[in-house]
């Protein structure tokens, strides 16, 4: 990690950024700056190789054609995979879970190889999962309910090396009928929750930041964020 500035990789925002997911990188930056820690967002587009030298990475959702572009780019430039192998935290939203898995099946029935950061596979569900979702976290270090907005047709099956991020109490989650939501494998966390998810779940944001900088952060007293959480959880 840079001695002075935390560098947040926003991976492929030109093709992987639906439903405001690019905002997750901004949330990470802002929560660091509010603690007087210098931070910057590094935009990594299809025109750029993916560096392995950043401190934390975020990826957003996308449709089938964009997923293909992202998969091809991450395969050609495996900086994200190299960083994750060193334990650098990565947040993958919705379709990014599928790209980082072993393979995903498109809506037309074609299987596309992923980059295998996650021991998961994804096939289309019969119906699309749309709406608010609330979960109880299963990841050590998280104690507060997670909430978000899901909009996906993928049904993601976890293999033996992958673990669920949370248990669904309201909504669908991974969509394979077992009440699990998201995936955790090593330092990589995936979730189907949009929102952006880190705006709605500050504990998860600080979890990623603490992994990135290697130390505990003092909590932030932000009444407006607490109000947002209360409103979303009530829904």
What amino acid positions are annotated as catalytic residues? 94, 194
CA distance 50 to 84: 12
Positions at the binding site for substrate: 128
Task: Give the bridge partners for 178, in sequence order.
Answer: none
Cβ contact 25:8 at 8 Å? yes
For 138-141, which contacts have Cβ atoms below 8 Å and span 24 or more sequence positions?
138/163, 138/164, 138/165, 138/166, 138/167, 138/184, 139/163, 139/165, 139/166, 139/184, 139/189, 139/207, 141/207
């Amino acid at each position: 990690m840079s001695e002075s500035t935390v560098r947040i990789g926003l991976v492929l925002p030109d093709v992987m950024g639906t439903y405001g997911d690019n905002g997750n990188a901004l949330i990470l930056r802002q929560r660091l700056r509010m603690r007087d820690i210098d931070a910057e967002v590094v935009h990594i587009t299809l025109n750029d190789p993916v560096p392995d030298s950043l401190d934390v990475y975020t990826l957003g959702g996308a449709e089938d054609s964009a997923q293909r572009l992202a998969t091809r780019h991450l395969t050609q430039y495996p900086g994200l995979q190299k960083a994750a192998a060193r334990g650098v935290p990565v947040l993958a939203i919705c379709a990014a879970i599928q790209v980082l898995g072993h393979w995903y099946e498109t809506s037309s029935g074609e299987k596309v190889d992923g980059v295998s950061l996650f021991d998961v596979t994804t096939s289309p569900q019969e119906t699309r999962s749309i709406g608010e979702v609330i979960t109880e976290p299963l990841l050590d270090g998280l104690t507060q309910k997670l909430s978000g907005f899901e909009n996906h047709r993928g049904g993601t099956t976890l293999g033996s090396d992958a673990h669920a991020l949370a248990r669904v109490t309201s909504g669908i989650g991974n969509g394979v009928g077992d009440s699990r939501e998201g995936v955790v494998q090593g330092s990589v966390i995936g979730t189907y929750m949009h929102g952006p998810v880190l705006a709605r779940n500050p504990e998860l944001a600080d979890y990623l930041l603490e992994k990135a900088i290697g130390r505990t952060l003092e909590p932030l007293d932000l009444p407006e964020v607490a109000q947002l959480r209360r409103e979303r959880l009530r829904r």
